[in-house]
C-alpha cells in the first residue's frame, strides 16, 4: 500500500479553488492502479465503511418549500451534466493516444457516471420518491438542461465524435465544462454544509474528483503543446469558439433562479445558519443572490486563468 495522496484524502485534500489551480498530476500519476487503490479502495471505501459521514439534513431541507426546491433544481441539473460528461468521455477513451490516457479517462468516465448517480440518489435521501426524482430530472432536462447543457454537449460532441479530436476534446472538457462548473460546485459545498450536510458531502466527494480531472486534463494539454507548439493557434481558436458559445448560453439565468430559491430558503430558515461563514469574514445568512453569483463567477474566471497558464494557453480568455 503506497501513501495516500493528498488529493484522495478526505481530511487533507485541498478545496476546489486551490486544488483546481495548483495541483499538478499527469495521466501516468493517475492510472488504473492509482484509481483502484486510492479512489475505489480508500476514498470511496471510507464512505461505505462509515469513517466519513455527514450529519443529518436540517428538517427544512427535507420539507417541501423553497430550500428543498433549490436543492432539487441544483442536483437535477448536476445529475444531467454528469451523465452527459460520462457519455462524452467514452470518445476520449476511444481516441486515447496512449495507455496512460486510456486508463485515466476510463477512470474519469466512471467518476462522472458515479457523480450522476450520487446527485440523483441524494434527492431520494432528501425525501423525494424515486418517481418524484425522475419527474424533476425530466423537468430540468427540458428547462435549464435544454438551454445550457444540450448546446454544450453538441459543441463537445462535434469536436470529439465528429472530428475525433482527442486534444480538442480534453481542452473543451477541462476548460469549458469542468473549469466552469467546478467553482460553482465549491460554492454549493459551502452553501449546503449546515442545511444539508449530506448534500455538502456529495459535493465534496465530487469536487475531490474534479480536482484530479482538472489537474490531469491540463497536464495532457501542456505536454501536447510542449511537443507540438504549432497546435497552439488551433486550440486557441477552439477555446474562442467555446467562449462565444458560453456567452450565448443563459447560465446566469439558471444560477439566478437557483440562488433565488436558496435566498428564499435562508430568509425562511436563517436561524439554522448562525454565524456560519461562507468565506472568511462573511456570514452566509448575510449574503445575497448577486453576491454569491459574483463570487462563483470570479472563482471560475480565476481558476480558468490559472489552468490556462499551466496549459501554455494563457491569455486565451
Ligand atoms: Fe463530475
Ligand atoms: Fe469531472
Q: What is the pLDDT of residues 269-286, one digit of tens each?
A: 999 999 999 999 999 999
In angstroms, what is the span from residue 240 Cα to ligand 1's centroid? 23
Distance CA 304, CA 317 (A): 8
User: What share of the chain in percent tops pLDDT 90?
Assistant: 77
Distance (Å) from CA 210 to ligand 2 centroid:
4
- The closest ligand to the CA of 206 turns out to be 1
The bound ligand whose nearest atom lies closest to the alpha carbon of 82 is: 1
Nearest ligand to the C-alpha atom of residue 213: 2
Span from the CA of 79 to the centroid of ligand 1 (angstroms): 9
| pLDDT (mean) for 85-102 | 97
Residue 104 CA to ligand 2 center (angstroms) comes to 12
From CA 242, how far away is CA 39, in angstroms rounded?
Answer: 31
**Smallest-distance ligand from the CA of 202:** 1
82 C-alpha to ligand 1 centroid (Å): 5
C-alpha cell of residue 279 = 468565506
Overall average pLDDT of the 152-164 stretch: 96
pLDDT at 208 (0 to 100): 92
Cα–Cα dist 253/226, whole Å: 39
pLDDT at 36 over 90: yes
Does residue 1 carry a pLDDT above 60?
no
Q: Where are the domains of the chain?
A: 15-310
Ligand nearest to the CA of 104: 2
pLDDT score for 180? 81
Q: Is the pLDDT of residue 19 over 80?
A: no
More confident residue, 299 or 95: 95
- The count of other CB atoms within 10 Å of the CB of residue 151 is 14
pLDDT digits (tens, 9 = 90+) for 40-80: 988 999 988 988 888 888 888 899 999 999 999 999 999 99
- Which residues, chain by chain, have CB under 5 Å from ion ligand 1? 82, 112, 115
Q: Name the residue with higher pLDDT: 300 or 317.
A: 300
Global confidence as pTM:
0.95
Cα 188 to ligand 2 centre (Å): 16
In this predicted model, which residue has the larger pLDDT, 51 or 88? 88
Which tens digit of pLDDT belongs to each residue from 233-269? 999 999 999 999 999 999 999 999 999 999 999 999 9
Dist. CA 272 → ligand 2 center (Å):
31
At residue 306's C-alpha, the angle toward residues 301 and 310, to 5°, is 145
Query: How far is the C-alpha of 129 from the C-alpha of 58, rounded, in Å?
Result: 18
Q: Does 13 score more than 90 pLDDT?
A: no
Long-range contacts formed by 282-289: CB under 8 A, 24+ apart: 284/190, 284/191, 284/194, 288/263, 289/256, 289/259, 289/260, 289/262, 289/263
Cα(110) to centroid(ligand 1), Å? 9
Residue-wise pLDDT tens digits, 109-145: 999 999 999 999 999 999 999 999 999 999 999 999 9
- 229 pLDDT more than 60: yes
Q: Give yes or no for a contact between 78 and 192, defined as CB atoms under 8 angstroms apart.
A: no
pLDDT at 304 over 90: no
Question: Mean of the pLDDT values across residues 152-160?
Answer: 96
Residue 239: per-residue pLDDT: 94
Instruction: Place domain 15-310 in its CATH homologous superfamily.
Output: Ribonucleotide Reductase, subunit A (1.10.620.20)
3-state secondary structure 102-122: HHHHHHHHHHHHHHHHHHHHH
Amino acid at each position: 500500500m503506497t501513501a495516500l495522496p493528498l488529493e484522495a484524502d478526505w481530511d487533507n485534500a485541498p478545496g476546489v479553488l486551490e486544488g483546481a489551480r495548483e495541483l499538478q498530476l499527469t495521466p501516468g500519476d493517475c492510472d488504473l492502479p492509482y484509481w483502484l487503490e486510492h479512489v475505489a479502495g480508500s476514498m470511496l471505501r471510507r464512505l461505505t465503511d462509515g469513517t466519513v459521514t455527514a450529519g443529518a439534513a436540517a428538517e427544512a431541507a427535507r420539507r417541501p418549500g423553497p430550500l428543498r426546491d433549490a436543492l432539487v433544481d441544483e442536483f437535477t441539473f448536476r445529475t444531467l451534466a454528469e451523465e452527459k460528461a460520462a457519455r462524452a468521455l467514452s470518445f476520449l477513451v476511444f481516441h486515447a493516444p496512449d495507455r496512460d490516457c486510456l486508463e485515466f479517462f476510463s477512470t474519469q468516465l466512471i467518476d462522472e457516471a458515479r457523480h450522476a448517480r450520487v446527485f440523483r440518489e441524494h434527492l431520494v435521501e432528501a425525501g423525494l420518491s424515486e418517481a418524484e426524482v425522475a419527474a424533476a430530472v425530466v423537468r430540468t432536462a427540458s428547462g435549464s438542461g435544454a438551454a445550457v447543457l444540450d448546446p454544450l454537449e453538441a459543441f463537445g460532441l462535434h469536436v470529439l465524435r465528429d472530428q475525433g479530436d482527442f486534444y480538442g476534446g480534453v481542452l473543451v472538457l477541462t476548460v469549458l465544462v469542468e473549469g466552469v462548473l467546478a467553482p460553482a460546485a465549491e460554492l454549493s459545498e459551502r452553501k449546503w454544509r449546515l442545511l444539508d450536510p449530506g448534500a455538502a458531502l456529495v459535493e465534496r466527494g465530487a469536487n475531490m474528483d474534479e480536482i484530479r480531472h482538472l489537474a490531469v486534463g491540463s497536464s495532457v494539454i501542456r505536454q501536447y503543446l510542449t511537443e507540438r507548439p504549432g497546435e497552439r493557434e488551433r486550440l486557441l481558436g477552439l477555446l474562442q469558439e467555446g467562449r462565444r458559445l458560453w456567452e450565448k448560453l443563459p447560465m446566469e439565468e439558471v444560477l439566478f433562479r437557483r440562488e433565488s430559491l436558496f435566498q428564499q430558503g435562508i430568509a425562511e430558515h436563517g436561524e439554522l445558519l448562525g454565524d456560519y461563514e461562507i468565506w472568511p469574514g462573511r456570514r452566509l445568512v448575510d449574503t445575497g443572490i448577486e453576491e454569491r453569483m459574483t463570487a462563483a463567477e470570479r472563482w471560475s474566471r480565476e481558476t480558468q486563468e490559472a489552468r490556462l497558464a499551466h496549459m501554455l494557453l494563457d491569455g486565451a480568455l
